[in-house]
Amino acid sequence: MADSNFIDYVKIHCRSGKGGAGSRHFHRAKYVPKGGPDGGNGGRGGHVILRGNKQMWTLLPLKYNRHVFAGNGQSGSGGRSFGKDGDDVYIEVPTGTVVYDADTGEFLCEVNEDGEEVKLLRGGRGGLGNWNFKSATNRTPRYAQPGEPAIEKTVILELKLLADVGLVGFPNAGKSTLLSALSAARPKIADYPFTTMEPQLGIVSYRDNRSFVMADIPGIIEGASEGKGLGLRFLRHIERNAVLLFLVPADAEDIAREYEVLLRELEQFNPQLMDKERVLAVSKSDMLDDELMAEIEKTLPEGVPHVFISAVTGQGLTQLKDILWGAITDDRNRIAPVAITHRPLDVRHRVREEDEFIFDTPEPEVEEYDEEDFGEDYDDGDYDESWDMEMPEYDPRKD
Ligand SMILES: Nc1nc2c(ncn2[C@@H]2O[C@H](COP(=O)(O)OP(=O)(O)OP(=O)(O)O)[C@@H](O)[C@H]2O)c(=O)[nH]1
Ligand SMILES: [Mg+2]
């Protein structure tokens, strides 16, 4: 995926600001004896806040900005002066971003709406100045509160695309062709497996100016849950879809079996996917005549609505859209995407390379020599320039 800039996983390190210390100060002025305590409060440290942005489509910008620090609050000072609050930092994320603790894998929060703000780390509160502690019994408090410390956390952001319909099928089933026939999306189409390497979204227009979003994800093969093919990591993009559209090509040997295999792989990934509404489409039906179609129809799995389609001739596409729209607007399915629980990440099993930052090359080590290291008979006078070796310049990116 070298030429891809679709990033759906990124690990970042965040730190909120620490609170400013309260001041311990006494009023001093000419002719004002015993001016009393007047130390002001420290300012609040900055928060780290996530903000949903539906214009963003990948987590790529975060990959180049993986250390996020909010500003510290300033200390209070005499004359009841408050310290300035630290600056908050906003991290813009695409809608559908889920946040996990990188150390424990625990689910922390998610951002689903455009403009939605979620406070990821709270800034430390500022300490109270000694002015706050004066009382009838202690008129000269000689203490003030320190500010609260900053909170530091490494988090994993995962993007789970928000779509209404998710396409599921073996490689070459015709998923991308269907998406390009139904929407303005132009995914790459070719007759070899794994043409699609990253998820694609398309907006499918339906009658009366209504529309829904369809997601095309890379093909799944038997054993994907054990890492075969591109594995199952793209399946998280259909976790929140209301409906799953299974695509099995008409020239498959056993359509029912292929459907079964796909189901099992999905279940391995997340059993909750089994609760979703499913629709089965037999793609490439332009290759079938009526007789064959009737024959295949008998072998199709029961309990799932099916439709014969062809993205090339347009056969069955209207019927397919009707079925999908019916399923999307069904109240039972509406609830499903919201009810999905984001299971904790298994941080030990994450692909290491996803964590490695492209510019994380170590600094070249420079050795320093002491004069003594050369021993006593070292004499600069005997130095011959012809001993000099030409050293190539060190380039960390090349090694
Ligand atoms: N005859 C016919 N061929 C089709 C139809 N739909 C797709 N194809 C062909 O099937 C091949 C694979 O199509 P893709 O859309 O790339 O398949 P995909 O499921 O996206 O495959 P991957 O991205 O590799 O997982 C291409 O050569 C398409 O031309 C169809 O309705 N009829
Ligand atoms: Mg494809």
Ligand 1 neighbours (beta carbon < 6 A): 169, 171-177, 189-191, 193-196, 218-219, 283-284, 286-287, 310-312
Distance from the alpha carbon of residue 82 to the mean position of ligand 1, in angstroms: 66
The per-residue DSSP string of 7-29 comes to: --EEEEEEE-PPPPPPP--B--B
Per-residue pLDDT averaged across 66-89, rounded? 94
CATH of domain 9-159: 2.70.210.12
Residue 244 near residue 250 (C-beta atoms within 8 A): no
At 38-48, the pLDDT tens digits run 999 999 999 99
Mean pLDDT of the chain: 83
Q: Choose one of 1, 167, 172 to mutate for the ligand 1 pocket test, by most ligand atoms within 8 angstroms of C-beta.
A: 172
- Domain 165-345 coded CATH 3.30.200.20: no
In this predicted structure, what is the pLDDT of residue 195?
Answer: 85
DSSP state of 210: E
For position 177, what pLDDT does the model report? 93
Q: What pLDDT sits at residue 330?
A: 77
216: CA distance to ligand 1 center in Å? 12
Ligand 2 mean position to 189 CA, how many Å? Answer: 6
- pTM tops 0.75: no
Q: Please identify, by atom number, the ligand 1 atom nearest to the C-alpha of residue 196.
A: 23
Task: Check residue 95 and report its DSSP letter.
Answer: T
* Most confident among 106-120, 262-276, 385-399 (mean pLDDT): 106-120
The DSSP secondary-structure symbol of 338 reads H
Measured CA to CA, the distance from residue 54 to residue 112 in angstroms comes to 9
- Domain residue ranges in the chain: 9-159, 165-345
Segment 141-185, tens digit of pLDDT = 999 999 999 999 999 999 988 888 999 999 989 999 999 999 988
